[in-house]
Structure formats: C-alpha cells, structure tokens
Structure 1
Amino acid sequence: MTDRPHRNFYGRIKGKHLKASHQGYLDADLAALSPGAVDWDANPGRAPLDLGALFGGRDIWLEIGFGGGEHLVHQAATNPEVGIIGAEPYINGVAMLLGKLRQASVENVRIHPGDARDLFDVLPEASIAKAFLLYPDPWPKSRHHRRRFVTPEHLEPLARVLKPGAEFRVATDIPDYVRQTMEEVPRHGFDWLAEGPSDWRTPWDDWVRTRYEAKAIREDRVPHYMTFRRR
C-alpha cells in the first residue's frame, strides 16, 4: 500500500496504432531516460528527485505535455548547458520524441511518460529555472474547463517547484484558454511580462513551430504567446 492520491486523468494514453519502430524506441531507450523516483512503486515515500545526479548541477527546464517533441528537442540541442525534463502521458508522443532524440544526438533530456502532477510530487522546491506549456489540450466545453492545466490543481505545485524569477511560457490558439490563463496564472504567484500587443502576438526568439501550431494556422486560429515570471 502507498499514500498515492486518487487523481482523475482525462485524455489519451495511447493511440490506436504504435509503429514497430516507435515500440522499439520505447523498449530500448525509455527506461534509461526516465527518472525512476517518479514511479510510485519505486518511490512510495515520494523522496525528492536527485537532480544533481540526473544533470550534474545544470539549470533544469521543464516542458509540460511535449506532444511530438519538436520543441523539446530544439531547446535541448540549442541549450546543451541545461537539463530538460519533459512530461507527456501520451505514449505515442513519447515514442516520437525518443526517435527525434536519436536523430539529434542530444543527451540533456529526461522523460516522465505520465501525468505531470506525479512529477511535481518529487521535484524539489524551487528547482526549475524555466517551464513551457505549449498548445495544451484545450478542453473546449465549459464543463470541462476544470480539466485544463491552468487550474489550481496544477498551478500550485508548478509554482512550488519553480525558482523565484523563473520564466513560464504558455502558447495556445484558443481564445478562452487565453482568458483562463490570464485569470489563473497571476493568482498563483506569477507576473505577466507583456508590455504591448507584439509580446503576445509574436513568437519567442528561440521558438520552433510545432505540429499543433501548424494545424492551428492551417485552420485560421491565431496563436498567442504568453510569458510569465515566478514572483
């Protein structure tokens, strides 16, 4: 028995079809890149992750829901001096990331193939220097808005693990998600850094377009890029 809390999870864990090559990546590479202390059976007492052992004292960044991994691999390759943890419950996306990591030959990434809330349980307080939430599941129906990431259930532990002054980036093409983000994120210890419209209409200088953004633009939805700083 453990004290694992009951947490409802909404969304897909696995697609209908997983390519043989993707299954091969999962079998060969995932275990070595997954912080074992996140697993409840391996760490029932929820001892904090030893980030120094994982990344040798480097600054740590976090991407929450990395999708197919395009942005995470780009950041890892561009910033080899940092360590990046990606959390993604959709196993097909995890497999896609593993394939991209092989192609890019980057070694400063670790992967939590599951709910970000379980990762928050074992991240030390004030340990993350930058976090990304890029095109999260919009849950468009009003009755489902409580499932969105930008709710207290997620923002409170995120604020706990971010360092003072840490940057939190949010990208979405859903106007109501923008509204909820602007309402909820500042309530949980963040300042919005925009000074004018170009700050939320223009991508970050180090941005790389993801498949989700490409789809949004094809369907005439307007991306928003919001930058916050942990107080």
Structure 2
Amino acid sequence: MTDKAAPVDPRPIRTFGRVGGRSLSARQQALVEDLLPRLAVPEGLSDPRMLFPGAREVWLEIGFGGGEHLVEQARRHPEVGVIGCEPFIEGMAKALTGIEANGLTNVRLLMDDARPLVAALDEGCLDRVFILFPDPWRKKRQQKRRLIQPDFLASLYRACRKGARVRFATDVASYADEALGYFLGHGGFDWQAKSADDWRLAPADHVTTRYETKKLGDCAPVWFNFLAQ
C-alpha cells in the first residue's frame, strides 16, 4: 500500500484576518467605485516613483486601518508620494473619504496584502515605511501569519534606499519582542532607540489613530524606529 502525500494548500499565507464587515454608506460606495480605480496602484508596479512625478520621496504605509495616519501624513507632506496598503474595504472607504475631503493628489492605494507589492518593487525605491499596529495573530498557531518575518524583511530591506526610515508599532507584547528580534537579526536595520522613552513614547510626528484609542492590546504601544543601512 502506497502512502499518499498530504495535499498542499495552494493559498498564500495572509497577514490579515477577515475582510468582510459593515456595509458602506452610499457615499463611501461611490468613492470605492469612482475614486479608488483612479488611485489604485497598477498591477506589477516596480518603480513607485512613476506614480508621483516630481515627488521628493516615496513613502509606504502598510495596513493603514481607518486611514487617519495616512491621510494626515499625506496632507502634511504634499511633496511626498504616499502609497497605502489596506485589505479591508471599510478602512479603504474611510481613507478615500479623507483623501477627497483634503483634496489630496499625492496618495495611491492598494486594497490587498502588501507583501507581493513590496517583493515586486525596485531596489532602493522607498524612502520611508510605516507598519503601525499590524494584525498580531495572537494565537500561537496563527503567528506564522504575522507580517514581520525574515522573508518579508529581506524584501523590505531591498526596496528601501540606504538611510530609509522604517517605523513599526504594536500594542501586543509578544509581537513587539518577536518583531524586534527579527529586525535586529536581519542586520540591515539600525534601531534608533537611545533610551527607553524612544520606544515607549509616540514619535513627535505620529498621528494617533482610532485603533490606538481603543486600547485593544495587552501592553502600551511600543514604537520601533529603524534606519536601513
């Protein structure tokens, strides 16, 4: 009798949970149908600078939630091109509302997992990256789905120029410990903390999000800032 090999699951590991949620308002639905296609990151993008002619830098925010941080950073820095990735339709609709309300022309959006995008980007094309409160996948058996993994950091490092700034934040203690270990273990990300306040206090340029105010984690927010070497 021949042993049969276990079937291989062809589905890629996702770094986010459920995608469905509350129904959109008529206005939000209209923005998703009309504005999102105009701002969508094209499939197979390799050079994000092509999306922002004349921009001084290109920034990437992975998992922008309700878009408060994304929209405000783009508003404060009109000379910068900002790409935001978010798989949840509710968050995308909220970001579109803020983009329209502020008349922003320096934002492009991807409603999907950020990993394939980062893997496809040209070497050294990102100047700044925000990864703020990604899904922590709290259960031990789920933690392989966490975004911060060695393979992802290798892709991210390649896409960052030398001197690019990377910010990671979480309010889950196990994720903070694990992520810091992976960043430092990579060897290409220089942790900028000089004292405990550098990771205990929100950076001066941070924009507080609705997620933070809910205090859903098991610890106070932890802020890790790195420079790509």
Q: Give TM-score, length-normalised by structure 2.
A: 0.89
Partners of 1:214 and 1:220 lie apart in 2 by 13
Q: 1:6 to 1:142 in 2, by over 3 A?
A: closer
Letter of the 1:34 counterpart: A
Number of the residue aligned with 2:194:
195
Q: CA deviation at 1:8?
A: 2.6
> Hey, what's the Cα distance between the residues in 1 that align with 2:108 and 2:92?
11
Deviation per CA, 1:182-220, whole angstroms, max 9, x where unpaired? 100122221111000110111111111101110118x78
The one-letter code of the counterpart of 1:178 is A
Query: RMSD over aligned Cα, in angstroms?
Result: 1.8
Whole-angstrom distance in 1 between the partners of 2:177 and 2:161: 25
Asked if structure 2 preserves the Cα contact closer than 8 Å seen for 1:71 and 1:207, the reply is: yes
SS class of match (2:215): helix
Q: CA-to-partner distance for each residue in 1:82-125, whole Å, 9 max, x for gaps?
A: 10000111111111100011111111100011110121133211
Mapping of 1:1-231 within 5 angstroms? 7-9=12-14, 10-36=16-42, 38=43, 46=44, 48-58=45-55, 59-188=57-186, 189-216=188-215, 221-231=219-229
Q: Give 1:181's aligned amino acid.
A: A
**CA shift for structure 1 position 16:** 4.1
Q: CA deviation at 1:20?
A: 2.1
What TM-score, normalized to structure 1? 0.88
Could you tell me whether the CA contact under 8 Å between 2:119 and 2:156 is conserved in 1? no
Separation of aligned partners in 2, 1:14 and 1:92: 8
Residue type of the partner of 2:19? I
SS in 2 for 1:185: helix
How many angstroms apart in 2 are the aligned matches of 1:186 and 1:34? 33
The CA distance in 2 between the partners of 1:175 and 1:52, in whole Å, is 36
* Paired residues, number: 217
Displaced runs of 4+ in structure 1, greater than 3 A? Answer: none
- Structure 1 vs Structure 2: percent identity of aligned residues? 41
- The structure whose Rg is larger is 2
CA contact 1:51–1:57 (8 Å) conserved in 2: no
> What 5-or-longer segments of structure 1 have no aligned partner?
39-45
Could you tell me which amino acid in structure 2 is paired with residue 171 of structure 1?
A
Partner Cα distance (1:62, 1:51) in 2 = 10
Deviations 1:114-163, CA, capped at 9 Å, x for gaps: 11012113321110000000011111111111111111232121111111
Equivalent residue, structure 1, for 2:6 = none
Distance 1:130 1:50 in 2: 15
Alpha-carbon distance between aligned partners in 2 of 1:57 and 1:124, rounded to the nearest angstrom: 18
Mapped to 2, the partners of 1:146 and 1:156 lie a distance apart of 16
Given that residues 64 and 133 in structure 1 are in contact (C-alpha distance below 8 angstroms), is that contact kept between their aligned partners in structure 2? yes
Q: Aligned partners of 2:11 and 2:121: how far apart in 1?
A: 19
Worse-matched range after superposition: 69-78 or 54-63:
54-63
Q: Which residue of 2 aligns with 1:42?
A: none
| C-alpha distance in 2 between matches for 1:181 and 1:108 | 30
